[in-house]
Structure 1
Amino acid sequence: MAKLVMFSARRFLQTSAKRAAVEVEGPSAISGGPEGGYKIWKNISIFIAVPAIALCMVNCWLEHKKGHERPPFVAYEHMRIRTKRFPWGDGNKSLFHNPHANALPDGYEDEH
């Protein structure tokens, strides 16, 4: 019985694979030929992705030139809670601490 089930399953998979391979015609990304969908992706990369990256780069550069004004410090009791010291430095500053942008529990460093 098991032999008959295995034979039927193998035959079904072989015929469906042959049928699927025959149905693919013309330029396609899965046809296996050199005329696949690479042309579409190449054009999308050149005419859409590259200009989009350039626009994002210009936007970042213009925003950086404007400068940043940091928000005023408000001592909310639910923020900047230190239940345990950090294992580096003085234990109060995070690993990627920026004294201009990141406040300590008692305020910005240069305001003291």
Structure 2
Amino acid sequence: MATLGRVSRALLRSSLTQARRQLSASVGGHSGLAEKWRMLSFLVAIPGVAVCMLNMYLKQQQHSHEQPEFIPYSHLRIRTKPFPWGDGKKSLFHNPHVNALPDGYEDAHE
């Protein structure tokens, strides 16, 4: 049993030594690769994010801000018990312009 322990420790030491050598060789030998990724970040990633932001801004400008028509579907807005906050009808992140109550939008009642 002691022999098995010595053999396993020797194998572990040799594998750790090899891993350290590979790690130190990879750090010193790939400085050009780090520069390549740095340049890709500045020349591809940042302009890509800027183009996506511009796309979303332009789409938001075209978006209609009208309230959708209320259709009282029986399978939507089911309230079996009231919410534990407020008047019990509105969800926690309720938006009166977009989220309808079971009997319609709030603006229609006023």
TM-score, with structure 1 as normaliser: 0.74
Q: CA RMSD in A?
A: 2.6
Letter in 2 for 1:41: W
What's the counterpart of residue 54 of structure 2?
58
**SS of the residue aligned with 2:31?**
coil
Between 1:37-46 and 1:8-17, the stretch displaced more is 37-46
Higher helix share: 2
What's the counterpart of residue 38 of structure 1?
34
Gaps of 5+ in 1: none
Q: How far is the alpha carbon of 1:93 from its aligned partner?
A: 1.0
Over 6 Å off, 4+ runs: none
Separation in structure 2 between the aligned mates of residue 32 and residue 81 of structure 1, nearest angstrom: 64
How many aligned positions are there? 108
Gaps of 5+ in 2: none
Q: Deviations over 1:37-75 (max 9, x none)?
A: 432332232122211221221122112222334432222
Taking CA–CA contacts closer than 8 Å with sequence separation of 6 or more, which of the two structures ends up with the larger relative contact order? 2
TM-score, with structure 2 as normaliser: 0.75
